[in-house]
Amino acid sequence: MTLSRRSILSRSLAALAALGLASPARAKTAGKSVAVIGAGMAGLAAAGALARAGANVTIYEARARIGGRVATSMLWPDLPCDLGASWIHGPIGNPIKKLAKAAGAATVRTSYESSAAFEDGEEVDTDIDPFEWVDDARATASRSSSDMSLKDALIALRVMKVKTPEDIEALAAHVHLAIEHEYGGDWGRLSARYFDMGEEFAGEDVLFPQGYGALANFAAKGLAIQTGAQVTRLTPRDAGVSIEFASGQSIRADAAIVTLPLGVLQSGRVRFDQPLARARQAAIDTLGMGLLNKVFLRFDEMPPTPAMDWLEKLDAPRKVFPEWVNLAHVLGAPVLLGFNAADSADALESASDRQTIAAATDALRAMFGSRFPAPIAAQITRWRADRHALGSYSYHALGAARSARRDLAGSDWDGRIVFAGEACSSDHASTVHGAWMSGLEAAREI
């Protein structure tokens, strides 16, 4: 029996609806033509919900693949590697956990409790917790006539007046590891008032041994998707919108959902022929597009690492790869996954593969000794150089209004276009579940 695209769509959307992952039908939506720009998780969520509501939906994706910043590499067939998003952050009540269950995707837990810092083969104490002073720094920024960077707010604390330059450097190293790696932005550009706004789901994070891409593939089943379709221009036209592509072709739709990454919106490569709402344009201009890059190092046998999930290196803040996931422990694979964030990641992106692998190997040898083996293969990400992302995920930068993410989300041009994506999520920015929920909200706007 051959299944049509319509029957596949009907079955997949029914499965999503049963899990609360697709919005209910709306009579006013039936027959409406909607163009979804971007086949990342926000776009897939929006398109699925609208298709179930009876809209004629097509997703236009500039890449040759779906998923956006969910990208699973199969370069090593025996070990899928997630070059972009890796975890469900807080699975309890998280819609991505429900999606993973519907897709039949296996998950493996990781715990920040299973972590330690190392130097020359010895475990070392992490005796500085920058979060001890973050609330005080936020209070300092709140008392100021204008917002302050997290760096300036921390340095301005009274307790810092008696600290030595070495103490400040140690603090910067801990901020780099604990905060810059989380938000992807330099502490000199993170807003002290708003950098960690939002909410979290509970439970230990989980990752996907077979790759996050399985969720994107499941969510895309039955949907009409055109890859290699790079949008260059949107124009309000009559009661709808005209969309032009780099190929020179154009289409018209009753409405469009724009799920482009913040970095692409900031680049100006997509032209909006009518000005966007002032607050929305201000949000685009002032929010920050952060960077978190990865290197997967593969060894010919299990690397000699402690039986822990997370391995850390605490030294000067601009030293690269201070944080590693021990996939040898988590998945039983001869692979270590290193992270490089914020300004350190930007600086290293211009390095060659050979230089990057050498820097990562040096980091491991600083942690575990000079005899730590060299890798036999590697996979490296460069998200800033990716022209369809121009960064990893958004952060709340100094100068962005408290309401910036809310200002970016929602409709413009009298409802002709609606914006969605992780940068539009006030409560769950920089996450896959934030992008997914934003896509569902955009569908409700339509």
User: Measuring CA to CA, which residue among 109, 108, 126 is closest to residue 117?
Assistant: 126
∠ CA 236-242-26, rounded to 5°: 80
User: Measuring CA to CA, which residue among 361, 296, 367, 370 is closest to residue 333?
Assistant: 296
Structural contact between residues 130 and 171, judged by C-beta atoms closer than 8 angstroms: yes
Q: What share of the chain is helix, strand, coil (3-state, %, to 5)?
A: 35, 25, 45
- The per-residue pLDDT for 5 is 42
The answer, as to whether pTM is greater than 0.85, is yes
* Spatial separation of the C-alpha atoms in residues 302 and 368, rounded to whole Å: 14
Task: Quote the tokens at residue 63.
Answer: 């890449």
SS (H, E, C) 12-51: HHHHHHHCCCCCCCCCCCCCCEEEEECCEHHHHHHHHHHH
- The per-residue pLDDT for 3 is 38
SS3 of residue 238 by DSSP: coil
Q: How crowded is the C-beta side of 280, counted as CA atoms within 13 Å?
A: 18
Residues 6-60: pLDDT tens digits?
444 455 555 555 555 544 455 578 889 999 999 999 999 999 999 999 999 999 9
Task: Quote the tokens at residue 428.
Answer: 């769950």
Strand ranges inside 178-254, DSSP E:
206-207, 224-227, 231-237, 240-245, 250-253
Residues in the chain, pLDDT under 50 = 1-9, 22-24
* Spatial separation of the C-alpha atoms in residues 337 and 298, rounded to whole Å: 9
What domains does the chain contain, in order, with CATH numbers? 5-68+210-287+398-445 (3.50.50.60), 72-115+201-209+290-380 (3.90.660.10)
Structural contact between residues 266 and 285, judged by C-beta atoms closer than 8 angstroms: yes
